[in-house]
Amino acid sequence: MRVAFLAAPEGVEEIELTEPWKAVLGAGWNPQLVSTKPGHVQAFHHLDKAGSHPVDRVLASRTIESFDALVLPGGVANPDALRMNPLAVDFTRGFFESAKPVAAICHAAWMLVEADVVRGRTLTSWPSLATDIRNAGGIWVDETVHVCHAAPAPLVTSRKPADLDDFCAALVKEFGG
């Protein structure tokens, strides 16, 4: 299974990228870092710079065809930058249109709102996004992880880095199922 991890050139929360990445590798799948620009993605630990991660693939109009699933890591700046990029929004929406599973943690739910894919779905996120999700027609719940099967494929969402163990276990189960 080929799993895309979508991240802006700067601002992804490092642990929300690296822990799901390890889970995908542990399942025997092929994770690839997709970004809007070539080079490296600068990760952060909250507001402090953390590691730099090489981009495997630059986002293009037909990139979705190369992947079986999508992981949207958070960090405040990461989804905020990505939701302003039409290719990133279309890429995210395309997984739903193609009935491919998606997992999003923390502020990454902003990408789901921007892609207009939360209507009628139940999900969780960082609590400050609850109103955005409700305004987009979704149902927000305060859970460590929530799996919504209302979509043609599973949508796995989680609130924050402290929930990563539950998030990673759920995404491996749902992506593999």
Q: 47: Cβ–Cβ under 8 A, 6 or more apart, which residues?
A: none
- Residue 152 has φ and ψ, to the nearest 5°, of -60, -20
pLDDT band at 85 (very low <50, low <70, confident <90, very high): very high
- In whole angstroms, give the CA distance from residue 167 to residue 16: 10
Q: Which of 35, 69, 43, 73 is closest to 161 using CA atoms?
A: 73
Joined together, the tokens standing for residue 139 give 């149902």
What contacts 24+ positions apart, CB below 8 Å, involve 144-150?
Answer: 145/169, 145/170, 146/122, 147/174, 148/121, 148/122, 148/123, 150/120, 150/121, 150/122
pLDDT in tens, 95-153: 999 999 999 999 999 999 999 999 999 999 999 999 999 999 999 999 999 999 986 88
Residue corresponding to tokens 């990673």: 168
What pLDDT is recorded for position 177?
A: 72
Whether residue 42 has pLDDT greater than 90? yes
- Give the catalytic positions in this structure: 106-107
- Residue 41 has φ and ψ, to the nearest 5°, of -100, 130
What pLDDT is recorded for position 38?
A: 97
Q: How many CB atoms lie within 10 A of CB 160?
A: 19
What DSSP string runs through 22-85? HHHHHTT-EEEEEESSSSEEEEEETTEEEEEEE-SEE--TTGGGG-SEEEE---SHHHHHHTT-
Quick one: CATH architecture of 2-176?
A: 3-Layer(aba) Sandwich (3.40)
Q: Look at 14-23, 55-64, 87-96, 107-116 and tell me which has the smallest mean pLDDT.
A: 55-64
Structural domain spans, the chain: 2-176
